[in-house]
Amino acid sequence: MKKEQIIQLLFEYHRDFAQTMLGLSQGEFSRVPGSKWSSAQQLDHVLKSIASIVKVFHTPPEVLESKFGLANSEGRDYDSLVTSYLEVLKKLKDFVLPERFVPVKISFEDRQKKVKELLETVRILKNGVEQFEESTLDSHLVRHPAMGNLTLREMLYFAIYHVQHHDRQILENLKNYPE
């Protein structure tokens, strides 16, 4: 997948997630479904996750290379990356999410502000991604907390999947944990 399509999908799926957030009632937004995260916490987690990826794409490639190295094999396509991520999730039942990604509660009154911040963060990510050559997306690595080293392109694939994953979780939680 070329970076133009990646950027388009990042915008599309984050807009979909934003629409889900804005369509929730106060109760749906704040309700904690059993031991799972509330929709508010899901929003905060997605925002924190995409913000960390923004930092990567506003770091010069030579700094990324010195910190994480270069890929020594071909990166995975989108479907393979998603399959790998789902396998990692199954294996890492006891995985402890790094503190910087742990969500906090967002008030219903702050929902719109946080959704706007999320969409602005995706726009900033787009600007960063546009500065990278296609070849750099495949040659340079970055570290994912659960999956280990990923190419920059794979990290973008992860971002595309990640927001859809949380959007689906919210909808499933609303269905499976009614008020």
Beta carbons of 81 and 158 less than 8 angstroms apart: yes
Exposed/middle/buried for 157, CB within 10 Å: 0-12, 13-18, 19+? buried
Q: Where are the domains of the chain?
A: 3-176
Q: Give me the torsion for CA of 144, 41, 119, 135, rounded to 10°.
A: 10
Please tell me what DSSP assigns to residue 140: B
Residue-wise pLDDT for 88-134, tens only, equals: 988 887 777 778 888 988 999 999 999 999 999 999 999 999 999 99
Residue-wise pLDDT for 5-61, tens only, equals: 999 999 999 999 999 999 999 999 999 988 889 999 999 999 999 999 999 999 999
pLDDT of residue 158: 97
- CATH of range 3-176; options 3.30.565.10, 1.20.120.450, 3.40.47.10, 1.10.1020.10: 1.20.120.450
Token match 């970055």: residue?
A: 142
Q: Cα angle at 137 between 135 and 143, to 5 degrees?
A: 140
Please tell me what DSSP assigns to residue 125: H
Residue-wise pLDDT for 147-156, tens only, equals: 999 999 999 9
Cα atoms found within 13 Å of the Cα of residue 4, Cβ hemisphere only: 0
